[in-house]
Structures are given as C-alpha cells and as structure tokens.
Amino acid sequence: MSSIRTTALLLLAVLSSLWISQQQVSARILTECEAAKELVRGGVERSFISHYVCIMKSESGLDTRKKVGPGHKASYAYGVFQITSDKWCSAFRPGGVCNKNCNDFLNDDIQDDIACAKIIAQREGFKHWKGWLKNCKNGKLPNVSGCIIKREVNLSDAEEMEEIEPEHLAHMTDLQDLVD
Ligand SMILES: *[C@@H]1O[C@H](CO)[C@@H](O)[C@H](O)[C@H]1NC(C)=O
Ligand SMILES: *[C@@H]1O[C@H](CO)[C@@H](O)[C@H](O)[C@H]1NC(C)=O
Ligand SMILES: [Ca+2]
C-alpha cells in the first residue's frame, strides 16, 4: 500500500521537475508570435515584421541565447539575430555601430537586439543576413498577422486594420530598398 503511495509521490516529483526544466528551456526559445509581438513593441513597421521573424528563425531558431564563433576576423555572432562583434557590437564593452556590449544580445530581453537589427537593416538591408537570403528572400515568410492583431484590437485599431493593404503597398518602395 504505502509503497504504491511512495512510488506515486516519487513519480509526481520526477514529472514536476521535468515540467519545470521544460519551462526553463522553452523560455529561451521564442515562439513566432512572441517574436512578432516584441517587434511590434520595438516599433518595427508591420510590413517588415514577417521578414524579421524569418531572419530570427533562420539565424538562431528563435534562440535568444545562441552564440556562435569564432568566425570572420575571430568575431562571434550573438543572440536571436546573430549580431556580430566584428562590426556591430563589442565583446567586452559597449562599442561597434550599435554601441552595445555583445553579451547584452544573449539575454531574453530582445528589445536592444531589435534596435541594433533595425540599424543593420537600415545600413545594409535584409541581405546582411545569410539566413534571409537563403530562406526568406524568395521563400515563404511566417504568417504572424493573426497573433499581432488579436492582442491589440480595439475599435480604432480595427479601422486601421482595414488600411493594411494600401499601407503595405505604400511601403513597398521602402521594402524594395531593404530587399535589393
Ligand atoms: C494568415 O493568418 C491569418 C490569421 O490567422 C489568416 O486570416 C490569413 O488568411 C493568413 N494568410 C495567409 C497568406 O495564409
Ligand atoms: C485604442 O487605440 C487607440 C489608438 O491606438 C488608442 O488611442 C486608444 O486608447 C485605444 N483604446 C483602448 C480602449 O485601448
Ligand atoms: Ca538583449
């Protein structure tokens, strides 16, 4: 009797510790929706969001703590956008074009990563990312429109949604600059 009870308790303990470690692991891997929402919060234009999510998927598998290297000029690539220390950030102090310590691109707050990715896209276009050239430029972009709209909908936003097509078209020239 009591051994069944003990076994059951033990099983429960094992299962719940598995569950906890599962939770901890999944915290570092963003879902496409979480990534899209962070991009909205970071002020990325709606028509570019699926491109950025595609970059994050291709470069890091949406892993906020991924670090790869050494590569070109002994540089390392940091975080969800794989931002490199040869130019954009500095490994030991704030520096590079983004004036950031690269290690700040390895935590789970990706707002600073997004700010730097925007600077990279501005200067070099999405073609900076090999993952974008390979998987996003002519490939299928993730459809995140559902998860962006749901959270934010209210009456005036809903009206704004009607405008998405013309707005999207209006930004096509900007997009072209990034894509070329
Ligand atoms: C994208 O997702 C939205 C909402 O889930 C859906 O309404 C829409 O048809 C999808 N678009 C494409 C191109 O699959
Ligand atoms: C709805 O959106 C508008 C414009 O973004 C905002 O000014 C307003 O406060 C929002 N209303 C609610 C109830 O969230
Ligand atoms: Ca960060």
Domain ranges of the chain: 32-147
Residue 107 CA to ligand 3 center (angstroms) comes to 5
For domain 32-147, give its CATH number from 3.40.1360.10, 1.20.1250.20, 1.10.530.10, 3.20.20.100. 1.10.530.10
Nearest to 127 by CA among 116, 136, 140: 136
Highest mean pLDDT: which range of 8-12, 26-30, 64-68 = 64-68
Task: Give the span between the Cα atoms of 38 and 111, in whole angstroms.
Answer: 7
Determine the pLDDT at residue 5. 81
pLDDT, tens digit (0-9, with 9 covering 90-100), for 117-152: 999 999 999 999 999 999 999 888 999 998 886 545
* Cα 121 from chain centre: 14
Annotate 8-70 with DSSP letters as a single string: HHHHHHHHHHHHHHHHHHHHHB--HHHHHHHHHHTT--HHHHHHHHHHHHHHHTTBTT-EE-S
- Cβ of residue 152 lying under 6 Å from some atom of ligand 2: no
> Which numbered ligand comes closest to the C-alpha of 32?
1
More confident position, 83 or 5: 83
Euclidean distance between CA atoms 157 and 176, whole angstroms: 26
Neighbours of 62 (CB within 10 A): 19
| One-letter amino acid of 163 | E
- What's the pLDDT tens digit per position in 72-116? 889 999 999 999 999 999 999 999 999 999 999 999 999 999 999
List Cβ neighbours of 25 (8 Å cut-off, separation of 6 or more): none
Given a cut of 90, whether residue 165 has pLDDT beyond it is no
Tokens of 23: 């939770």
Give mean pLDDT, residues 49-63. Answer: 97
Structure confidence at residue 140 (pLDDT): 87
CB of 145 closer than 6 angstroms to any ligand 1 atom = yes
Phi, psi of 84 (to 5 degrees): -100, 145
**Residue nearest to ligand 2 atom 14, measured at CA:** 154
Average pLDDT over residues 7-25: 63
Of all ligands present, the nearest one to the C-alpha of 33 is 1
Q: Which amino acid, residue 169?
A: L
